[in-house]
Structure 1
Amino acid sequence: MLCALLLCCGTSACSTNDPLRIESPALPTTPAAQSSAPSINDERAWEQPFSPAQVRQVLLATDLDAVSTRENSEADIREYLTECDKCLVALPAYETAGEKFQIYSVSTAGDAYSFASFAIRDAKGTPEVALAVGGSDVYLSAGKEGSLVAQEAVYKPDDPMCCPSGWSVRMFRYQDGQFIQGDSFASPVDPAEDQGTEQ
């Protein structure tokens, strides 16, 4: 009886009147974690005014040679657009000067490796490609001061697909109804080598 009383007193001294709260494990801060899959409502918002099917038709009618690379030819990109519904991915929209642009990437289905990214404008009710970029794991996203940023992975020959050695960034400004490329820069492929050149 004494043991039971002591146990009750000990546990009540540590308790609070607050309800039990379950903590979620901390999410990693990697870019992949930050760009986690959107909810269905988010996807519907991103897919306005044009659905992926409408954008796919416009892309298939576009000269895709400008976004082709040695690794991914125009024929490869067309094959992904034609054969793989999940390979055309809607990303967060970009707005500037009162105009909204939908952002879409063409990616591999298995590992979401993007090799082309597009800004789509509403041209009097019809989707139109306003900007197209191609490259290695390339994405378009809103940047600072109204810019649209193309970020591309830089791989050394021995880099695994998960882990590029650096990043290349191109910034675009929307001016007089078109995107103009501005600044571009690259993070060092090997930070140690970059520091060594500064000394």
Structure 2
Amino acid sequence: MLCALLLCLGASACSTNEPLRIESPAAPTTPAAQSSIPSTSEWQAWEQPFSPAQVREVLLATDLSAVGTQENSEADIREYLTECDKCLIALPGYETAGEKFQIYSVGTAGDSYSFASFAIRDDRGKPQVALAVGGSDVYLSAGKEGSLVAQEAVYKPDDPMCCPSGWSVRMFRYQDGHFVQGDSFSSPFDPTQEQGAEQ
């Protein structure tokens, strides 16, 4: 009787009113989706020194033709920036050589599918685009040994949007005030998941 009572108490202490959510570890996720929801202070830190409104203004004044693709043209990117406040997505910043860069992506509001990603620097109190990459579900994030990594999903014609066949990765190094592209490689796995497994 005592054992049954203790078992019931233990089970009720572990239960919640929240519904059970089952997650598949094999399902690929984007860098924005796989990080935990940031606190208000983390968002404020990411949005320093420039707010999304300031970044949006400088992006709209920038030639975006280099990041346009056949699927998402420069005009499409400008339309998202102009018409959709939630389509400019703040990501964790990147620091190297004592300089901080804010990372922003432009993508769809519903599923955070990114088609352009930018590293923004502080140029004497004004935001400046230091690096811009475009592609299919492309994100910039901090990599190993001070690199900045552009990760892009690679889809075969029959791949569903949730599940790309692989990833294309480009590494950038910050040298003499500029980003220089270094190594590039393809991976069948999400590189951000591999990094998470190593830590």
1:128-139 to 2 correspondences below 5 Å: 128-139=128-139
**Counterpart-to-counterpart distance in 1, 2:5 and 2:157:** 62
Matched, 1:94 2:108: no
TM-superposed CA distance for 1:158, in Å, is: 1.1
**Counterpart-to-counterpart distance in 2, 1:55 and 1:93:** 14
1:58-137 to 2 correspondences below 5 Å: 58-137=58-137
Q: Which has the higher contact order (CA 8 A, sep 6+)?
A: 2
Provide structure 2 residue ranges, at least 5 long, that are not aligned to the other structure: 190-199
**Counterpart-to-counterpart distance in 1, 2:41 and 2:23:** 22
**Counterpart-to-counterpart distance in 2, 1:92 and 1:146:** 14
Deviations 1:6-64 (A, max 9, x none): x2x444776999xx456997865453452243222211110000000000000000000
Q: Which has the larger radius of gyration?
A: 1
Task: Tell me the residue number matched to 1:157.
Answer: 157
TM-superposed CA distance for 1:103, in Å, is: 0.0
Structure 1 length normalisation: TM-score? 0.82
Match for 1:122: what amino acid? D
Provide structure 1 residue ranges, at least 5 long, that are not aligned to the other structure: 1-6, 190-199
3-state SS, counterpart of residue 72 of structure 2: coil
Match for 1:181: what amino acid? Q
State the identity %.
Answer: 75
Worse-superposed segment, 85-94 or 106-115: 106-115
**Counterpart-to-counterpart distance in 2, 1:61 and 1:37:** 31
**Counterpart-to-counterpart distance in 1, 2:3 and 2:165:** 55
Structure 2 length normalisation: TM-score? 0.82
**Counterpart-to-counterpart distance in 2, 1:53 and 1:13:** 56
Task: Tell me the residue number matched to 1:171.
Answer: 171
Aligned pair count reads 181
**Counterpart-to-counterpart distance in 2, 1:13 and 1:111:** 44
Deviations 1:84-124 (A, max 9, x none): 00000000000000000000000011221100000000001
3-state SS, counterpart of residue 48 of structure 1: coil
Matched, 1:50 2:50: yes
Task: Tell me the residue number matched to 2:145.
Answer: 145
3-state SS, counterpart of residue 100 of structure 2: strand
Deviations 1:107-164 (A, max 9, x none): 0112211000000000010000000000000000000000000000000011111110
